[in-house]
């Protein structure tokens, strides 16, 4: 049987999901994609889980309306808040979600001390508690919500003074306690990997989950007979709930894509 490529939906609170999108483009370039960043509401990570769950349902409806048959929740916060409820509400849609990569970190650490960078909301969710419970035994996990970091990255500030100060403030105490691994539990953070590496040095491993998420997406597509084959680059449609210029300006830097970003509008709590 030859697979016939279906459109997949990818969403995040903003530009963070582009770290997953660029990996999807690397691994499965022939897959048509619709991406939406809910930049009107970014950051999600400081909001109550219930609110993020509501946004996630509406964003999912928008993606399905635009033809998405499989959805990648390219946001740890939305996965923590909404993945279970999305699977319940949309049983016909396969979802790929994200959880902080505590499992590989626990398997690979030698010092037994691991830093986890994620959002407040992700740390509060049951998903993180269950990951820690299942995989974190015998490992010391040092957690930081990196206040303000998502906002800097949304502004395209990947290596400026403020971004550096936030990261140093969080990572220096972790280094003092002996971390040899850092887990990036927020999809915005892979964009500052060069800066993180500069701060933690060559002996600390930094885990970006995007390649594993893209592999899982490809596996699921294959299973359904939906995988786009070959190196032909399919279309990506980019949407944002804020002004499109800001997203459009950063697409080349963050995703290596040049495309027109379009606007989706929240109207009376629904996305149109």
Q: List residues near ligand DGL by CB under 6 A.
A: 12-14, 16, 42-45, 75-77, 119, 122, 150, 186-188
Q: How far is the CB of 250 from ligand DGL (least distance, A)?
A: 14
CB contact at 8 A, 140 and 108: no
Query: Tokens for 222?
Result: 């294959």
Measured from the CB atom, the residue of 143 and 227 that comes closer to ligand DGL is 143
Distance of CA 132 to the CA centre of its chain: 19
Q: How far is the CB of 235 from ligand DGL (least distance, A)?
A: 24
Measured from the CB atom, the residue of 36 and 175 that comes closer to ligand DGL is 36
Measured distance CA(232)–CA(235) in Å, rounded: 10
Measured from the CB atom, the residue of 44 and 226 that comes closer to ligand DGL is 44
| Torsion angle of C-alpha atoms 185, 186, 189, 193, degrees rounded to 10 | 20
Measured from the CB atom, the residue of 175 and 186 that comes closer to ligand DGL is 186
Q: Is 186 a catalytic residue?
A: yes
Query: Tokens for 79?
Result: 């996965």
For tokens 């220096």, name the residue: 172
Q: How far is the CB of 30 from ligand DGL (least distance, A)?
A: 26
Measured from the CB atom, the residue of 24 and 227 that comes closer to ligand DGL is 24
Q: How far is the CB of 12 from ligand DGL (least distance, A)?
A: 5
Q: Is 146 a catalytic residue?
A: no
Q: How far is the CB of 191 from ligand DGL (least distance, A)?
A: 10
| Catalytic position from the list 33, 49, 75, 195 | 75
Measured distance CA(194)–CA(192) in Å, rounded: 6
Could you tell me which residues come within 8 angstroms of residue 267 by beta carbon, excluding any fewer than 6 positions away? Answer: none
For tokens 């933690």, name the residue: 200
| Catalytic position from the list 186, 195, 221, 254 | 186
CB contact at 8 A, 52 and 76: no
Measured distance CA(60)–CA(72) in Å, rounded: 10
For the annotated catalytic residues, the residue numbers are 75, 186
């Amino acid at each position: 049987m030859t697979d016939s490529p279906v459109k997949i939906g990818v969403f995040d609170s903003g530009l963070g999901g582009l770290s997953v999108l660029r990996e999807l483009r690397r691994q499965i370039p022939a897959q048509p994609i619709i991406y939406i960043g809910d930049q009107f509401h970014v950051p999600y990570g400081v909001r109550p889980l219930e609110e993020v769950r509501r946004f996630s349902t509406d964003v999912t409806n928008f993606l399905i309306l635009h033809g998405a048959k499989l959805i990648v929740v390219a946001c740890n916060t939305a996965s923590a808040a909404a993945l279970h409820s999305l699977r319940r509400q949309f049983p016909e849609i396969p979802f790929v979600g994200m959880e902080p990569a505590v499992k590989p970190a626990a398997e690979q650490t030698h010092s037994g001390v691991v830093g986890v960078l994620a959002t407040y909301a992700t740390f509060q969710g049951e998903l993180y508690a269950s990951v820690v419970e299942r995989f974190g035994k015998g490992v010391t996990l040092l957690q930081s919500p990196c206040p303000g970091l998502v906002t800097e990255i949304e502004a395209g500030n990947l290596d400026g003074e403020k971004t550096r100060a936030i990261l140093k403030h969080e990572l220096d105490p972790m280094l003092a306690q002996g971390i040899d691994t850092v887990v990036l539990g927020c999809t915005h953070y892979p964009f500052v990997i060069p800066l993180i590496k500069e701060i933690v040095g060559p002996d600390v491993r930094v885990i970006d989950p995007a390649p594993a998420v893209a592999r899982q997406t490809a596996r699921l597509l294959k299973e359904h007979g939906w995988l786009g084959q070959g190196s032909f680059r399919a279309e990506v449609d980019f949407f944002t709930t804020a002004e499109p210029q800001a997203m459009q300006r950063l697409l080349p830097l963050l995703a290596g894509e040049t495309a027109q970003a379009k606007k989706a509008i929240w109207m009376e709590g629904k996305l149109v």
